Amino acid sequence: MVIGSTGFRTFVDPKGDLHTAIESCRTAKIMLLNPESSGAVERARTIRDPEVTQESLRWQVANTIALLRTLRGAQKGISLKLYSDPPLWKLAILGDYGWVQHYHPGLDVQVMPEYVLEHGQSPTSLFSAFYHYFVMRWNDPSIPEYDLLAGELVYRDAAGNELSREKLDLMLEGAA
């Protein structure tokens, strides 16, 4: 279970933290920032690096989707959702461990401290809180799924019934 911004440095980059894991996993639930959303505009605007633009975020998400589409085509159970608000947490939960970083406005997440959480019986552990945060976000019907094969956002009601679809063409020149 992963929440991130574009997923590019995490999944696509061969040196990325979860590059090998995503290629060998059987199932994954991934949430990324919709590069067409107001949250992406806000994120690009607040980062002081001139190379971070809405277009660069779009390109990174397109490359991540291309990788996930390839894995999905290889019969992996990969599900993707695209959220619209500015990113708050970079979160990865794998088994009994979670990794979390804060997306501070104006700073690259790479300069923020990373915290490792372990699932356990301690009531002071933050693992359960972040796990529930992911589940709440994942189950939020206002966050559409992205159909990796059709290239469409799929909107559902609270019961999970499909309401509508919207084409989201992110494939840009140079996208993997």
The sign of the CA dihedral 41, 46, 49, 50 is: positive
Predicted confidence at residue 171, as pLDDT, reads: 58
pLDDT in tens, 16-42: 999 999 988 889 999 999 999 999 999
Helix, strand, or coil here: 43?
helix
pTM above 0.75, yes or no: yes
Q: Flag whether pLDDT at 161 surpasses 50.
A: yes
- Tens digits of residue pLDDT in 83-122: 999 999 999 999 999 999 999 888 888 889 999 999 988 8
In terms of Cα–Cα distance, which of 14, 148, 16 is closest to 4? Answer: 16
Backbone CA torsion sign across 77, 83, 87, 89: negative
Which one, of 63, 44, 143, 18, lies nearest residue 103 by Cα? Answer: 44
How does strand 97-102 pair with strand 162-167?
unpaired
